[in-house]
Structure 1
Amino acid sequence: MQPRNSRLNSSALRGAVDLAAVKAAGEAAQKAEQARVERARQAAAAEADGVAPQPALQLVIDVTEDTFETEVVQRSTEVPVVIDFWAEWCGPCKQLSPILEGLAEEYAGAFVLAKIDVDANQLIAQQFGIQGIPAVMAVVAGQLVPLFQGAESAANVRKVLDQLILVAEQRFGISGTGAAVAAPGEPGEAVAAQRPEDPALSAAHDALDAGDLAGAIRAYQDVLADQPGNTEATLGLAQAELLQRVEGLDLQAVRSAAAADPKDVEAQLRAADLDLVGGHVEDAFGRLVSTVGRTFGEDRDTARLRLLELFEVIGPEDPRVVTARAALARVLF
């Protein structure tokens, strides 16, 4: 007989959903800024003491098929490597490449930019499945992280880079030279410790950690009302709303209802939510993509919006989100 322990509660779900990502979501950009401030301080101190500055880290490198293993794969175990696929004849590449190079300097070692000429390195372009340029990808700890294709503004690229740095730190424990967090007692510790906390955001995090989902939702909404672009609050709100939706649901009953009637949109939404908090991310995304594909009108829009909400929970740069976005585009268009 199956044990009747399928009823879920918020405390169990908080273990399934990575709530640590909420508090860390905004730290990547802050660490990069701290690194830039610290590098400037150290350079000024060295100049005042008459000490010759150390050679700067090479932040932008040209990579070929011969150097790819060393410059990209091996280097990615120490720092995220962003790859800019370009060609001399590509007009949009000439707009994007200077932006990427400037941001590599601005981020001061939080990532390294590897430039690959697709004409001179066709084998690499084929292996990465490059079909159009400019195309930007990253390698972290030897694993590919697709980023975006086509020219983008500096502001949009900066958002993508912040997410990449977060993924590298959260999932692989990799921080670039400039973005590394100092160990206790090492130079730079004071800089990190001085980062001011947002009281409203901290209160929202505390409510979420305490299981006060309604209170957390209100608190995150208040933060977003004042700061619409706050990444931490957006992620926190998406997670709190997910936890609230699945609280008290019976796992077996939900899955049985979804299997019995694939056209029941609400049943598919509940099952997708439970898939996600149970760690079955691809199943959750696949279920909703299929629901979008088989529905029309308001039902289709409902399923599509829920899928976008779940993308927020996982993070836009997660490869599973990138894959699901492509699948969604195929069924929509």
Structure 2
Amino acid sequence: MSIAASPAHVFDATTETFETSVIQRSLQVPVLVDFWAEWCGPCKQLGPLLEKLAADYHGAFELAKVDVDKEQQLAAAFQIRSIPTVMLVKDGQLVDGFPGALPEAQLREFLAHHDIQPGVPAEQEPLPEQAAAPVDPHAEVLRLRKAIETEPDKAELKLDLALALLATGGAHEAGQLLDALPANLSTDDRAVKARARLGFAALLKDAPPAETLQAAIAANPDDLRARHLLGVQRIVAGDAEAGLEQFIEMLRRNRGFEDGLPKKALIDAFRVVDDEDLVGRYRRKMSSLLLV
């Protein structure tokens, strides 16, 4: 399949380009990998269906085509024993796959099972809103307290107050508000992220001050417990990059420390950090270290 003839969101993957075009790309969007060959009859049935879905889903996933005759090393690395075989790569890791040609309905079920839903065509995407001016979290706490006095039964305001309190260090009251939310709001993305922040804050209950942790790391760079606590402190304090850097250094030094704590700390932090570009950068760093 030539690049010029490739449908949208479909590309050829080779041994040389696989790390960048599939592994690294999957940190941003899921990638289906179709192992096929020109002589394979079922491949000619499955391939067009996969390409149709890639177009229908408008970038919700991308399709990488691997010609096993041309890329024997890549096929051997994935232990491909029959074709067609399809693999799904998400977040830099192989998560699922299937052999053989499936009908379109089952292909859609496979995608849905992995939370891959059709996207919106680019021409229909809404225009980005103008960025709002930063809000002072302390002023926001005061505003929301007054609003709740006026509408004490409005649970959405209490969720907003919990988020504002977290930004000012009021973790205890924020936790009480989150625990009291009705079921329809307790699973809200903002509530889930707020609980993740509370979990980070709870780790610091009896933690030494940052200066003590920094001194411990300077004396022993392999003190991963100190690195973990310092990383958590940096995340909670709003210095996300410094915190992520500590977690990455933990992963670099000992990925198996305390049953995989370095990787777990990074994944937890990705749920908390709002800067998508920063999260994407550190996801790529994590993937590179895990693939070594």
Q: Normalising by structure 2, what TM-score?
A: 0.49
Largest Rg, 1 or 2: 2
Q: Normalising by structure 1, what TM-score?
A: 0.44
Whose relative contact order is higher, 1 or 2, with alpha carbons under 8 Å and at least 6 apart? 1
